[in-house]
Amino acid sequence: MTAARTELLSLLRERAARLGDTPLISDETGSTGAQDLVERVDAKTRALRAAGAGPGVLVGTLGGPAAEFVSEVFAILAAGAVAVPLSRRLTPWELARLRERCPLDLLWAPRDSPSALPFPAEDCGARRLTGHRDPARRPPGPGARARRPAFEAAATAQLTSGTTGHPRVALRSAAALLAEVENYRAALALGPDSRLLCPVPLQHAYGFGLCALAAPLAGAHVRCTSPDRPRMLLREIADDGVTLFVGVPPLLRLLARSARSLPRRGRAVGYLSAGMALDAHTAELVATRLTGHVGQVYGTTETGPICVTRPAPWRPDATGPGAPLPGVEVRLSPVPGAPAPDTGPDTGTGAVAATGTGLVTVVSRSAMLGYAERDTVDTAPLRDGFTTGDLARWEEGRLVLTGRLSTCINVAGAKIAPEEIEAVLLAFPEVASCLVSGADDPVLGQRIVATVTPETVDPEKLERFCRERLSPSWVPHVFASVAHLPTTETGKVIRPRTGPPGQPGRPDS
């Protein structure tokens, strides 16, 4: 076992020794104390080793109930295998598709789950471990499963979101996980007095790094819940001593608009936003309607967190997710077809000083080893740092995101960042969610199409609102209001690869 794996497990045992039965993880199924969590980890580690888990062996785990998921992640680490966090809603069809890209050897799931591998391997309480090979035809003991030497340095295999391209599988080492844990703990001052409310799926990079790893290892209590009932979330925030709400911009807007009265004075809850850029209007809603402090996380599945801003009183002049974390270097690389950003000396914060917009390129201790490609690892995307595809600029040492290269709209040769227009659309009081995309045009190359929800939004009023705030070349050519826009589990609107939403064959998979 590597030193980093040993350190992660030692931190968990130290917390259990100090906290005993103090609740560490809770959800609708109940609460689990620190010592109970360690006992579950030990039992599942034995089951994994008996099933042949070891270095290079891919073990999936469905993201709920929360204590089962977290204990399985740590058990997989203890067995020396590779944890593959998966959605608790995973269907058999999705499992079959997943195995084309990420060939699972073992899978933890509830006993009654329809998603399972062909052969039962071990049972552990309410969970069942299944495998793709008949146990009767393999030698017993640890490491008996087919190993993939290329994956032996990996501790996790995490699926990217796939909102702007096909999902890929990012392999990360235990050392990268440990660096992520340390960054979250220090940046957010996590400790036994912290209480996190997490409606974000635990298998997603944001929920996984912060709520499944960093918070439990800091002794912080995490309550996992559903994002579907905003007023219930507001009651939990008010009554449960929550110090940090783990959210995404669409959910923060929904909470703010669902609040019928201002929360009780006396303490300000921290509202953390990640998954997409936090627009100024949503930040203002959190501050004024929820009287909360606002913080941001910027990161990717491939790199782990890049910037983490601790929640603080909202300031209108505060833009972007902040300065890079310690040990994270961020450079702005030239945008293809555009002038290179003017680069100056290192600022000492991990940022390389520059003026103008560039592509975010990251070198970090928490970065992945590479992408899994069947039984090999593709390391090419890491040469000279990982380029995220995000566009950004520097403002006084703070990183300010301006869009994504892959979503830019080309209007008569001008590159238009849809995210900048979406920030204006979201400031219109009636808009709940939106998507700005490009549609082919024989004269301009592309037209700007703005689609918003709900369907009751008046397109003419919205166009006037935009014309008052955007320069003429940025005003959408087409406005449409619809009842629903497709989203991921975290509430991020899924972008079409080309053309506006609703066209056959356009939406991303």
DSSP letters spanning 55-114: TT-EEEEES-SHHHHHHHHHHHHHTT-EEEEE-TT--HHHHHHHHHHS--SEEEEETT-S
- Specify the pTM: 0.85
Largest interatomic CA distance in the chain: 71
Coarse DSSP helix, strand, coil percentages of the chain, rounded to the nearest 5 percent = 30, 30, 40
Rounded to an integer, what distance in angstroms lies between the CA atom of residue 73 and that of residue 82? Answer: 9
Strand order in the sheet with 433-441: 433-441, 445-453, 478-481
Q: What is the pLDDT of residue 106?
A: 95
Average pLDDT over residues 215-229: 94
- Helix or strand holding residue 371 (H, E): strand 370-373
Sign of the Cα pseudo-torsion (142, 124, 96, 153, in order): negative
Q: What is the pLDDT of residues 244-264, one digit of tens each?
A: 999 999 899 989 988 877 666
More confident residue, 262 or 508: 262
Of the chain, the percentage scoring pLDDT greater than 90 comes to 62
Q: What is the pLDDT of residues 299-340, one digit of tens each?
A: 999 999 999 999 999 988 878 899 999 999 999 988 876 655
197 - beta bridge partners?
223, 245
| Model confidence band, residue 146 (pLDDT cutoffs 50, 70, 90) | low
Q: What is the pLDDT of residues 80-138, one digit of tens each?
A: 999 999 998 888 988 888 887 788 999 999 998 899 998 988 888 889 999 987 766 55
Please state whether beta strands 221-224 and 23-27 pair in parallel, antiparallel, or not at all (unpaired).
Answer: parallel
Answer for the pair 169, 159: CB distance below 8 angstroms, yes or no: yes
